[in-house]
Structure 1
């Protein structure tokens, strides 16, 4: 077994390396910020600064995600994956060693770009290397790494915070990421360069039917729905009467709930249709968003975290599933448009959140508006289904098209 885990062509080693890469690129470089935010708000950051930093992080991710769509050659993908892993560690180390606001701002943009290289480009490499007849199910396991990334970064952070400060937690996270990265970089590479010609896809606007435009708009609303809890959930729970200190437990539950989510939602989409399942997932997410505004019950607010964790990862897979079908043989433009729409929602949400929090003095107005925006997405999908006669194939999407694997 030991030798198998060091074999670059072993499926278990490839999946392990992919999950560990996500833990570094998404957990350490992104979600640890959410975990440590309540502590940084106590003596370093203001809420406005936190919102700006979160927005800049998603700006970097948006730029990286769009950039990654146009990386066709697998050898080039390996290069940018390596760059992304290194940037994820360096940008985390900066937060431990510097108190300069300007450096923090730059580091969050860099971290966002690195996260995109790890998640999207790294996913493409995993897809190429896996030796399965049906890679889609295996990729569901790979993307469970997003849930693991929350759990692992949260556990490390809380362990360090028992005796040390948040800055030292950033340092330990960076050191952990450095060690893990060695394995991921070794496994997710090739013994020799792969020589393959990349098929040329001509850019076309013909795929932008009214149905597709509504889908893109709905995906924008989900970008908003993802960010607010993804940035502030621990502080939201801590701010409720009698719940101070429960925020990080809620965040841990987010990660645990997220681990199996993409696999389960994709299975249900296959059985019941993508749009139907997307609507159900978004409605559940809305319930989770509104719970903190309605109750300060410990159980219900931990359920809010579970509903968020079990939906946000699955919704990305579900939307890309549907988009992959609609894109056909020309996925580049549609995937770019969907990624951009989602990313714009991610960038905008932290900014309006902090403005509303400052004005009203609590998170309620932010959560109401976020839930309303996600509900608009549900209405857009219902309208699209009512008005279109397009038949959507229910089978699983071809990840090769979506990840631009060559």
Structure 2
């Protein structure tokens, strides 16, 4: 077993390394911030500044996502994956050791870039290295790492917080990330330098049909739908009467629900069509977004976390898979456009969220606006289906 886990070409080792890298690059460098937010709000952060930090983090991720599209050479991908892992650790250590606001802003931007290198470039390495004829199911297992990332970073944070501070939690998270990164970096590399010719395809604007443009708009709305709960969910639950202290349980449920989600949604897409699966997932997400605005029931609000966790990871997989199918031999431009649209939604959402929270004094208006924007995404998709039906 140990021999298998240390074999760079073992599928088991590759998948384990991929999941561990996501725990570092997405769990520690991104989602641990959501987990620790209620404690940092009590002590150091204001909600407005939190929105700015979240927006900067997503701007860093967006720049990294677009940058990663143009990394063609596999050996360069290995290099940037390693850079992403190192940045994820260093930026976490900064949060543990200083409360300088400028350093935090810079740190969140760089952490966002690092997360993109780990998730996007790291996933490309996993896909290249896996030795399966059909890699779809295996990549579903790989992306379950996002659910593990939330759950593991949450469990570490809460364990430290029993006797320590949020700064202690950041310190432990950075040490944990440092230790597991050795394994991920060792496995997700190659025994020798690979020479892989890059096939160049001509750029065709004809891919941007009305159907594809509507899909891009829908993915923008999902970028908005992802952010609000992804940034504030523990604090949203804690702000409800009688639910103080339950926010982090809700966040743990997000991670647990997210673990099998991409596998299940990809199966639904295979059986019933990608657009139909996306519409269902977005409808469930809207229900999850609205629950805290209408109810203070603990079970329903924990269900809100489960609905969020079980949809947002699946939706990324569904949209990216559909984009890949539509793009054919030239996925770069379409993937880049979809990622940019999603990223713009991510950058903008925290800013309108904190503006509405400051004005109204609670999260309700933010949740209504977010749910409405995701609903617009469903309308875009229904219109896209109608266009396809008319064409066929």
2:295 alignment partner in structure 1: 295
1:109 alignment partner in structure 2: 109
1:351 alignment partner in structure 2: 351
Distance (Å, rounded) in 1 between the aligned partners of 2:60 and 2:251: 23
2:194 alignment partner in structure 1: 194
| Superposition TM-score, scaled by structure 2 size | 0.99
C-alpha distance after superposition, 1:315-358 (max 9, x if no partner)? 00111121111111111111100000000000000000000000
2:37 alignment partner in structure 1: 37
Root-mean-square deviation (CA), in Å? 1.0
Distance (Å, rounded) in 2 between the aligned partners of 1:185 and 1:273: 36
Once the two structures are TM-superposed, the CA of residue 391 in structure 1 deviates from its matched residue by 8.4
2:70 alignment partner in structure 1: 70
Once the two structures are TM-superposed, the CA of residue 42 in structure 1 deviates from its matched residue by 0.3
Once the two structures are TM-superposed, the CA of residue 202 in structure 1 deviates from its matched residue by 2.3
Once the two structures are TM-superposed, the CA of residue 388 in structure 1 deviates from its matched residue by 2.2
2:278 alignment partner in structure 1: 278
Once the two structures are TM-superposed, the CA of residue 389 in structure 1 deviates from its matched residue by 3.3
| Residues 1:129 and 2:129 are matched in the alignment | yes
Aligned structure 1 segments of 4 or more residues deviating by more than 6 angstroms: none
2:259 alignment partner in structure 1: 259
Once the two structures are TM-superposed, the CA of residue 379 in structure 1 deviates from its matched residue by 0.4
1:384 alignment partner in structure 2: 384
Q: Which runs of 5+ in 1 are unaligned?
A: 393-406
C-alpha distance after superposition, 1:28-53 (max 9, x if no partner)? 00000000000000010000110000
Distance (Å, rounded) in 2 between the aligned partners of 1:313 and 1:87: 23
| Residues 1:183 and 2:183 are matched in the alignment | yes
C-alpha distance after superposition, 1:126-156 (max 9, x if no partner)? 1111111111110110010000000000000
Distance (Å, rounded) in 1 between the aligned partners of 2:110 and 2:202: 31
1:222 alignment partner in structure 2: 222
| Superposition TM-score, scaled by structure 1 size | 0.96
Q: Which runs of 5+ in 2 are unaligned?
A: none
Distance (Å, rounded) in 1 between the aligned partners of 2:390 and 2:168: 54
1:1-80 to 2 correspondences below 5 Å = 1-80=1-80
Distance (Å, rounded) in 2 between the aligned partners of 1:104 and 1:390: 51
Structure 2 counterpart SS, 1:241: coil
